Amino acid sequence: MENLFAKDLETVTRKAASRYGVEVVEKASEVRERLLSLWEKKLIKSNHSIMEYVVSLYLISKGYDVHVEYPLGEDLVCDIYAVGGGRSLIVEIETGFVPPSNASDPISYRLAREVSKIVRYSPYADRFALATPPFHILQIPRIFLDSPTERGEKELAELKGLLDMYYREPPLSIEDLKKAKIDYVLIVNVDSVSVFQYPIESYYSMLRRNCYENLGFG
């Protein structure tokens, strides 16, 4: 049977060679091999993993040493762990998928999922980012633009209540929410093998003008 994921990797690699150069593509060989191995074991999904590969190529081009599907601790594996300039960065991929079981509450589901990613993963690196395609709007509450000392107890309690509805194991505390951070959003265009990086303040401001206030996150 034809390995469609390997074919997709080859297509992205060819485009990446034109965009970033052969040296970057060669440095990404371990990333390709790991993703292909995990896909063959049916441990990852192709659409999610192709985005991982595109982001990895971008980070390698910026001088990062990149690892994918990287274990952080017991039962916790991040999509991308990168080190560059003496600092660590974790990137979690969000495709925007909503399961059929959440057809009647897609925004609440996405909000809880994206907040849980920020809370669970950000303590493990100096910087944390979510990566998403251009057609998905991340549901990021305004509270994450504030410093931990500026975050109101009422807003924290409301977020914890939402998280408890969707994610009880392991439980997330008010203190976890208070310490969590998100530094960047990466917009991933798989078709052109390009990534656009926005500081969280810029991403939030850009979307607030268009939709966040109408969705209730302003």
Name the residue range of residue 186's domain: 4-215
pLDDT tens-digit map of 82-140: 999 999 999 999 999 999 999 999 999 999 999 999 999 999 999 999 999 999 999 89
Contacts of 33 (CB under 8 A, 6+ apart): none
For the full predicted model, state whether its pTM sits above 0.75.
yes
- Under the banding of pLDDT at 50, 70 and 90, the label for residue 2 is low
As a whole number of angstroms, the distance between CA 64 and CA 61 comes to 7
How confident is the prediction for the chain on average, in pLDDT?
Answer: 93
Count of beta carbons in the 10 Å neighbourhood of residue 121: 23
Q: Are strands 65-73 and 76-84 parallel, antiparallel or unpaired?
A: antiparallel
> In 3D, which of 63, 129, 64, 53 has the Cα closest to residue 90?
129
Phi, psi (5° rounding) for residue 134? -65, -25
184-189 and 127-132 strand pairing: parallel
Pull the structure tokens for residue 80. Answer: 């991308």
55 close to 92: Cβ distance less than 8 angstroms: no
Question: Is 60 exceeded by the pLDDT of residue 216?
Answer: no
Query: What is the percentage of the chain residues whose pLDDT exceeds 90?
Result: 85
Residue 212 has pLDDT above 90, yes or no: no
pLDDT of 1 reads 45
> Per-residue confidence at 154, pLDDT binned at 50, 70, 90?
very high
Query: Torsion angle, CA of 62/55/192/137, rounded to 10 degrees?
Result: -120
Q: What is the pLDDT of residue 75?
A: 87
**How many domains does the structure of the chain reveal?**
1
Q: Which residues contact 44 (CB under 8 A, 6 or more apart)?
A: 35, 38, 69
Q: Pinpoint the alpha helices (H) of 41-152.
A: 46-61, 106-121
Q: What residues contact residue 73 under an 8 Å CB cut-off, 6+ apart?
A: 124
Could you give the CA distance from residue 52 to residue 81 in angstroms, rounded to a whole number? 11
Burial of 54 (0-12, 13-18, 19+ CB in 10 A): buried
- Only one residue has tokens 């996150």, namely 217
Over residues 165-184, the mean pLDDT reads 92
